[in-house]
């Protein structure tokens, strides 16, 4: 080690920067030849006494420091990848990288471009050890210190996607969304760098975590569309394609009622791949606007992911209960002209108050027919009057459903009673009008 200090002292006396750089390269090669644990001490000495030598921290000497640190990053990575020697050990390698980052902390402004690569490499290996918080801290430091540096937009896109993924793992959705927006603003860089072999994989990775984030944010329709697109990616393994396709189905099932959701459900239900999944019957029920029963809810419940087992952002009900309730309200509006909240609550698996609140919300958001209204005095929701269409729809529903539950019987009886009452009112009004006209004539 004393001979190493002597060599470093001699290198510091070299005035010509080019010669100093070559001398430091040769010293580094000698350091990398050490085969035992002493290499870690030698690397630390090389960084602290050679790279961070006073002669290398100002003026033209910075060239020597930057080139030497860049070469050190490269040689360390090669040594780790080779799986030979002490640096192949992950614990030793991580400690060496930590030592470099710590040693250069006070000089990070002068060496930031090179030190950023060291942090990124260290973050990679910390992530592989599931030390996500430390990895995030390193990446955040790199972002904060490199805003005005010379790294390419693709480089920063890669960093933003990684941060998005790590925050998603930690369920820090606000931070993940922040880096999603930052990454989105740099997607144009992939078109400029399309010749790079990792351009397409990076875009795929971005879209995957974008879909994951939308799913976690309960933006289920947006997530479903993106998972559907991911499932159609070329050169994707069958297992991954099927996984994305089923995630698309699940998100579509949980998505709020809308015309876009209806079209997506119809697309998924006729997709040839659906028959190879266990979702075919569920999708066809949704496409036909049939009521979702408890057995179907139980099937969906079994396929939910952990982050789905929480309350909906639109109500106090669970994500699944809210989605099924919205669908069943829409189904009722398709088949029936009116229904009491007492009966509707049994169809929605909610309380009467919660059912009324949901219907009111759907009316305000224009998810139900324009003529739909709530009669709070009578305790009913009126979907509108289009009796020929309603009768036809009810017939179709009877064909689709193999059994009619007690809740269906209540709905049917109430519908008949309501229609009969409407006819009696119309007949009475017609009789009174005719009688009044006769009195006027006499």
Distance CA 414, CA 394 (A): 13
264-320, pLDDT tens digit by residue?
999 999 999 999 999 999 999 999 999 999 999 999 999 999 999 988 887 778 999
Residues with Cβ within 8 Å of residue 433, at least 6 apart in sequence = none
Report the side by side order of strands in the sheet with 380-382.
338-340, 380-382, 373-375
The whole-number pLDDT of residue 249 equals 96
Distance CA 194, CA 187 (A): 11
Distance CA 233, CA 2 (A): 59
The whole-number pLDDT of residue 400 equals 36
Question: Would the pLDDT of 126 be above 90?
Answer: yes
pLDDT range class, residue 398, cuts 50, 70, 90: very low
Q: Which two tokens stand for residue 179?
A: 């880096």
Q: Does 418 or 225 have the greater pLDDT score?
A: 225
**Which residue is associated with the tokens 């609140």?**
357
Question: Would the pLDDT of 410 be above 50?
Answer: no
Beta bridge partners, 339, equal 381
Distance CA 183, CA 203 (A): 10
CB 94 within 8 A of CB 129: yes
CB 215 within 8 A of CB 307: yes
The whole-number pLDDT of residue 427 equals 56
235-264, pLDDT tens digit by residue?
889 999 999 999 999 999 999 999 999 999
43-92, pLDDT tens digit by residue?
999 998 888 888 887 888 889 899 999 999 999 999 889 887 888 889 99
CB 224 within 8 A of CB 256: no
Q: What are phi and psi of 131, to 5 degrees?
A: -95, 70
**Which residue is associated with the tokens 């909610």?**
350
CB 335 within 8 A of CB 290: no
Domains of the chain from N-terminus onward:
1-143 (1.25.40), 336-441 (1.10.10.10)
CB 356 within 8 A of CB 364: no
Greatest mean pLDDT among 93-102, 378-387, 390-399, 424-433: 93-102
The whole-number pLDDT of residue 195 equals 53
pLDDT range class, residue 374, cuts 50, 70, 90: confident
């Amino acid at each position: 080690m004393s001979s190493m200090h002597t060599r470093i002292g001699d290198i510091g006396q070299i005035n010509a920067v080019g010669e100093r750089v070559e001398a430091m390269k040769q010293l580094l090669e000698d350091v990398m030849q050490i085969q035992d644990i002493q290499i870690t001490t030698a690397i630390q000495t090389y960084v602290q006494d050679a790279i961070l030598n006073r002669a290398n921290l100002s003026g033209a000497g910075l060239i020597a420091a930057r080139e030497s640190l860049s070469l050190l990053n490269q040689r360390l990575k090669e040594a780790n990848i080779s799986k030979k020697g002490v640096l192949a050990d992950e614990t030793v390698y991580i400690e060496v990288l930590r030592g470099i980052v710590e040693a250069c902390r006070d000089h990070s402004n002068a060496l930031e471009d090179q030190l950023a690569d060291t942090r990124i490499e260290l973050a990679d290996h910390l992530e592989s050890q599931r030390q996500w918080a430390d990895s995030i801290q390193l990446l955040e430091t790199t972002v904060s210190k490199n805003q005005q540096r010379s790294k390419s937009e693709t480089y920063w896109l890669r960093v933003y996607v990684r941060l998005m993924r790590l925050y998603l793992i930690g369920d820090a959705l606000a931070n993940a969304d922040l880096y999603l927006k930052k990454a989105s603003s740099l997607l144009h860089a992939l078109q400029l760098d399309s010749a790079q072999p990792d351009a397409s994989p990076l875009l795929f990775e971005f879209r995957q975590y974008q879909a994951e984030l939308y799913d976690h944010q309960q933006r289920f329709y947006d997530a479903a569309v993106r998972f559907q697109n991911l499932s159609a990616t070329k050169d994707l393994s069958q297992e991954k394609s099927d996984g994305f396709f089923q995630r698309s189905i699940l998100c579509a099932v949980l998505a709020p009622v809308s015309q876009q959701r209806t079209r997506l459900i119809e697309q998924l239900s006729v997709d040839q791949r659906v028959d190879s999944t266990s979702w075919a019957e569920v999708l066809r029920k949704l496409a036909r606007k049939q009521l979702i029963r408890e057995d179907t809810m139980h099937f969906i419940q079994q396929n939910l992911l952990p982050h789905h087992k929480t309350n909906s952002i639109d109500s106090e009900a669970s994500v699944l209960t809210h989605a099924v309730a919205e669908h069943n309200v829409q189904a009722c509006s398709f088949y029936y002209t009116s229904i009491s909240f007492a009966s509707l609550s049994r169809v929605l698996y909610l309380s009467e108050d919660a059912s009324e609140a949901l219907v009111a919300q759907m009316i305000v958001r224009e998810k139900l027919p324009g003529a739909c209204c709530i009669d709070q005095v009578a305790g009913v929701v009126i979907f509108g009057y289009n009796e020929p269409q309603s009768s036809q729809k009810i017939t179709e529903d009877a064909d689709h459903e193999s059994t009619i539950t007690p809740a269906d019987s209540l709905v049917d009886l109430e519908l008949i009673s309501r229609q009969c009452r409407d006819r009696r009112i119309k007949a009475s009004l017609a009789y009174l009008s005719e009688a009044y006209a006769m009195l006027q004539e006499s």
